[in-house]
Amino acid sequence: MIDERHEELAAQHAFGLLEGAERAEFVAAMEASPELRRLVAELTLAATGLAHAAPEATPPEELKARILASAAGRVPAAAPARPPAEVIAFPAWVPWLAAAALGIAALWYGREYSAAQAENGRLQTDAVGALAALHQAQAQLDQERGAALRSLEETQSELARAKQMVTDTSRRVAELSAQLKDQGELAKLKIATLASMLGNSPAAVAVAVWDPSRAQGVLSVSKLPAAAAEKDYQLWVIDKRYPAPVSAGTFVVDPVTGEAHVVFRADKPVDAIAKFAVSLERKGGAPSPQGPIVLISP
């Protein structure tokens, strides 16, 4: 079954209207399809039949004579017959000459054959040598490649170890930095021991630790007798900036153990603490020391 496109191309081909690649493509399709060739033949016949549709015109009488005269001087391509072949008689010595030539040719070809065989042997030897050299070069290349791979693996291992060392060192540096920071902050602490000023309680003792960065401190008291009900112990901070001690609050000791642990802050900003002192004041404390000093730092 021929599709419309090929019918269209066949019609154009019948009029010689196809060109270039389109024509080449159609000719190829036509060669592959007897059905398409038949269609083209039919359409070509119909197309050339249009010659009958041209306006009638009669060629002049002399045209026929002219054509026949021209044809008389020309021979159709396949018309001439070949003349019979001429028989040539050979002299008697020709066969001997031919035999001698054949003998010489045989000798020459035999020598050429031997030379070719020898050359072939040499070429095969060269080929074997070249093949061995090739295998050796390949083996050497494989060995060098293996060494290079091992070296690469070692370098990668060393690199990994170096990275680990850097990580460990960085962590250690961080730890040391933290320690140094802690030590620095510890160095800034004000630590003082307060000794008893009471004749009846000479063992009473207290330790005050002041952290200037936080503006607060810790007081730990032991073996201090409990104050009377209407009294309170009051902690004082003595700073040279102020003419009078600065209150740091009151506290109560355990009447059984005589201990107290309090976190304190000064009522005023202090930065140059010289001493700590504890006095016995009225209940709730006093704005300035009025009672007896019971504990004091050196």
Partner 1 sequence: MTLALPLFRISFLIKEPQGHLGWSVCHARMTPADDNEDHEQRARANAELIRRMAGGDRDALAELYDKLARPLYATARHILNDAAEAQDVVHDVFLTLWENAASFDSARGAAFSWAVTLTRNRSIDRLRSRSNRARLLGDSVPSDLGYDAEGGFIGGDDLAQLGDRAAAVRSALAELPPDQQKALELAFFSGLTQKEIAEKLSEPIGTVKARIRRGLLKLRDMLAHRL
CB 9, min distance to partner 1, A:
9
- Is residue 255 within 8 A of residue 233, CB to CB? The reply is no
180: helix, coil or strand?
Answer: helix
Indicate whether 7 belongs to the interface with partner 1 (CB under 8 A): yes
| Window contacting partner 1 (CB under 8 A); options: 11-19, 125-133, 265-273, 288-296 | 11-19
Alpha helices for the chain (secondary structure H): 4-14, 20-32, 34-48, 61-72, 93-188
Q: List Cα–Cα distances, 22 to 10, 16, 27, 81, in angstroms.
A: 11, 12, 9, 42
Question: Per CB under 8 A, which of residues 65..94 are in contact with partner 1?
Answer: 66-68, 70-72, 74-79
Output the six-digit token pair for 235. 């902690």
Which residue among 45, 128, 165, 166 contacts partner 1 (CB under 8 A)?
Answer: 45
CB 70, min distance to partner 1, A:
6
3-state secondary structure labels for all residues of 103-150: HHHHHHHHHHHHHHHHHHHHHHHHHHHHHHHHHHHHHHHHHHHHHHHH
Question: Per CB under 8 A, which of residues 12..41 are in contact with partner 1?
Answer: 12, 14-17, 19, 41
Indicate whether 8 belongs to the interface with partner 1 (CB under 8 A): yes
Which of 74/82 has CB closer to partner 1?
74
- Is residue 176 within 8 A of residue 275, CB to CB? The reply is no
Q: Is 278 left (phi over 0), alpha (psi -120 to 50) or beta?
A: beta
Question: Residues binding partner 1: what is the number (CB under 8 A)?
Answer: 44
| Window contacting partner 1 (CB under 8 A); options: 42-50, 125-133, 139-147, 276-284 | 42-50
Which of 15/113 has CB closer to partner 1?
15
| Window contacting partner 1 (CB under 8 A); options: 28-36, 54-62, 126-134, 188-196 | 54-62
Which of 15/108 has CB closer to partner 1?
15
Q: How far apart, in whole angstroms, are the C-alpha atoms of residue 47 and residue 15?
A: 7
Indicate whether 43 belongs to the interface with partner 1 (CB under 8 A): yes
Q: Which residues bind partner 1 (CB under 8 A)?
A: 4, 7-8, 11-12, 14-17, 19, 41-60, 63-64, 66-68, 70-72, 74-79
